[in-house]
Each structure stands twice: as structure tokens, then as C-alpha cells.
Amino acid sequence: MKIEGRTFVISGGASGLGQACVEEICRNGGHVAILDLNAENGAELVSNLPKGVARFFECNVLETESITAAVAGAVDWIKETGKPLAGVVPAAGVSTPATILDRNGDAFNLDDFDFVMNVNLRGTIDLVRQCLVHLAKVEPVGEDQERGIVVMVASSAAFDGQKGQVSYSASKGAVTAMTLPLARDLARYGIRVVTIAPSLFESRMTAMMSEKVKRSLEKAMEFPRRAGKPEEFAQLVRQSIENVMLNGTVLRLDGGMRMPSKISRIFPGIWEYAQHGRQDKHLINMSSRGGNGGSNLPNFQWASITAPPVSKREGTLPPLQSGNPSGHGPKPKPLEPPCKPKLK
């Protein structure tokens, strides 16, 4: 399918990998409805793109009503431009790292699990299903009579989950599992489904890494020995749109990288950062430029992530302190091994 002259809906499109997808599609003649919670980032992105090729719609993927309103707005905009809907890229996602048992032997909080699943899984399928109602009515094009495509975002954690990624791996694993049945459901409509599973990509955190940390990461990499670039993710999204034979499949975008079981060995203190994320239930982006509501909270960019402005979040993060390389709160204490359950 050609991108030129067609419209794509992208959630999490105001920052990170989602933003890279917006820019790539617009660069190739497409139009984009940008869905995100961060209105400031969204407005800035639209202003930096050619006039009329993108429009921002504030959207919280945790709320069906919010998605409904955003999709309705996008459909009205499509009627104005005359550029038919051709696809949806649900790129919003979160991660709140936590081991199943903490250092005291207590089970992790199910609220955190529900939060991750609701954003990464339910938010994805909710946006997809609402867009499909409109996409299935679009006039098919080309010799294959194609109507469009769904490009979902999973993660290498779906296959190689690290310590503390039970919730995240489960949510992204579910996204990969939906790919083939969705493709089979939609075959009769001429709609394809592709899922991309990225590994470590450039983010605020990778920019902060010391040379020692970078060298440690390189040990887990094959080739190339570096984090992926957002534009490389966006290129694969574009290629998925253009190549009609890509359907019902999950594409790993990781350069052969397989992460070690413990992230903390690579980046000590990750659990302290994660605590801030778990306390802030609306902190959806923890990695990309301006994507976390103005904070400097770092995290691995395993997938594209959306973000709310500060006014949309519950609670605040600790003030920046110069003594901590993370930029947040007091310097993390050395990590203690988790408590081993006593056998009776």
C-alpha cells in the first residue's frame, strides 16, 4: 500500500518511537492523526511538520471514552482532508518494573500489573477495534484490493523478559499472540496485521549512560553494537505498510540482541527509578524527549511510549538533585538481593 495521500492514526505519537513514525509517514506523503496525552509535545510536533499533514488529538488509552472521542475527531478530520484512513499504529505503552516477590518476600502489587496490562494490551486492542470499524469501510485499492494495515508494537521482552518484567513481558507477549488471529479475522476485509518487537532503542536514558555502562550493554549485542535509532524503527513501520506480503507476523528489531536476565547488572538503581513510576499511575512515558511530563526519569525504551503533561498526572516526582547521576532524588542505595522464601 502506498503511504502518499492516506491517513494513519498513531497513539503515543508525540514522543519517542511514535513520533519517529509520525515524521516518517509525513515525509513520505502521508497524513497522521497524532493521539497522545502530552498536548504540549503534540502541538509542537504538528507545528514542526508541513502545514495540514498532521493533527493532534488528546487521548488517554486507559479510557475507552477518550479513545472514542479521539478516533471520532480523526475521522472528521479525514473527511475534511479527503485523505482516506489506511492504518493504525498503537504505540502507547508503559513499564513498571517489579519482581514477583520483593526483598521482603512479599508479592508485588496487582494494581501495577493491571496498570501495565490496561495500557499495553487493553489500550492497544481498544484503539485498534475502534479504528477498524472505519477502516473496514474504506474503498479497497490496488490489484490486491487492500484497505489498510494495523502495525502493533510489542517488545523483545515478549521473548526475553528480564528480572522484574513479569507485567511488561506478559502485556507485550499478549500483543504478539494477537497478531495472527487478528490477521485471520481481518483477511476478508483486506486489512493486514504486523507487529514489531524492538529491543533497546535510543532514549533519554541511553544518552545519560557512561562509557562503562555502554560497554556492558555491548556484551549483550551482536551487530550492530549500539542501541537502535528511532528512525530505524519508523523505517520498518513504513516498510510494513508498503509491503503487502507482510501479514500475520511479528518482526524482531533487535540486531540479534538478547538482554541478560538482570537489568540491574547493567544499570544499577533501575528499581529505585521504577518506584517513582509505580507511585505515579499516569506516568506513561519514562524515556523520550519531554515525554514524561518534564521529568528526567530514565528507562529502557523497549517500545514506543506516550506521555501526559504534568497537569494530567497524579502526584509529583522528587526534585532534581545534583548528587545523583539519574537526576532524581537521593543517590540510590546499593541493591539488596531479594529475600529467599523459607521452606517449611
Q: What's the CATH number where 215 sits?
A: 3.40.50.720
* Cβ neighbours, 10 Å, residue 246: 17
Residue 325 covered by a domain:
no
Residue 340 belongs to a domain: no
Note whether residue 339 is domain-resident: no
Asked whether the predicted pLDDT for residue 123 surpasses 70, the reply is yes
**Distance from C-alpha of 87 to C-alpha of 107, rounded to nearest angstrom:** 40
Which range, of 90-94, 246-250, 312-316, averages the lowest pLDDT? Answer: 312-316
pTM of the model: 0.79
The mean per-residue pLDDT over the stretch 21-31 comes to 99
Q: Using the structure block, give the residue that is written with the C-alpha cell 518476600.
A: 105
331: in domain: no
Looking at the domain assignment, is residue 302 inside a domain? yes
pLDDT at 215: 76
Q: Is 189 a catalytic residue?
A: no
Q: Which three cell numbers stand for residue 244?
A: 503487502
Q: Supply the pLDDT for residue 205.
A: 60
279 falls within a domain: yes
How many domains does the structure of the chain reveal?
Answer: 1
Q: Is the pLDDT of residue 101 over 60?
A: yes
Give the chain's count of helices (H) and strands (E).
10, 7
Q: Quote the Cα angle for 142-147-151, to 5°.
A: 120
* Average pLDDT estimate for 89-102: 93
**Cα-Cα-Cα-Cα dihedral of 170, 288, 334, 217, to 10°?**
80
Task: Please check whether residue 338 lies inside any domain of the structure.
Answer: no
Which domain does 290 fall in, by range? Answer: 7-312
What mean pLDDT comes out for the span 109-115? 96
**Residue 233: left (phi > 0), alpha (psi -120 to 50), or beta?**
alpha
Options 57, 108, 168, 201, the catalytic residue:
168
16 lies in a domain? yes
pLDDT at 142: 95
**Termini Cα distance of the chain:** 62
